[in-house]
Amino acid sequence: MSTKPPPRFNAWHAGNLPDPIRLTRFRSQLEIRFALELEARHLRWFYEPQRLGESRYLLDFYLPDCKAWVEVKGRVSSRDHLALREVAHLLSVQRGHRLYMWTANKAYVVSQTDFKPLTHEVFWLALSPCPPEAASGEASPQEAPTESPDPAPPEWSTSHQVEED
């Protein structure tokens, strides 16, 4: 008989995480927190499914039922500013998809010319056009996107800095 006390419950212990998160090798704790939120909202997601654009940028999350992509960032570099705008344009024109950037303090909708700040609450509302079956977790299986030819990147006139609180 063991006299060791039972282990304390730790919500972040790998054994307590849902399988899709436990079995995925994330690059940051912020990505794990974001994935947990997706799971709690019953949104289907793929982690780093493909590189996009001439910059070959690897976006973090693809939400197929919402036709949206999300880049989760702790720090934003000047390369991110340029590449994310290029990829946002490509996704919009070629696929009719939206691109968002998620940070610890706020989210942004990314376009070819701008990063529009959103609260986290508004971000989740922006994803609400998902089909009802996506929100309930009953969506039929869908493959992650495959590579497609990328157009030449648009010309950039100015650099926009993302503000962090």
Say if 52 falls within a structural domain: yes
Say if 3 falls within a structural domain: no
Return the biggest CA–CA distance within the chain. Answer: 71
**For residue 48, what is the domain's CATH number?**
3.40.1350
Q: Which residue has the higher pLDDT, 101 or 132?
A: 101
Q: Which residue has the higher pLDDT, 24 or 112?
A: 112
Mean predicted confidence (pLDDT) in 49-77: 94
Task: State how many domains the chain has.
Answer: 1
Q: How far apart are CA 22 and CA 19, in angstroms?
A: 5
Q: What is the pLDDT of residues 136-149, one digit of tens each?
A: 444 333 344 444 43
Contacts of 140 by beta carbon, 8 Å cutoff, 6+ apart:
133
Q: What's the pLDDT score for residue 25?
A: 84
Mean predicted confidence (pLDDT) in 69-83: 93
Q: What is the pTM of this model?
A: 0.69
Q: Are 64 and 70 in contact (CB under 8 A)?
A: no
Q: Are 60 and 48 in contact (CB under 8 A)?
A: yes
Q: What's the pLDDT score for residue 10?
A: 43
Say if 151 falls within a structural domain: no
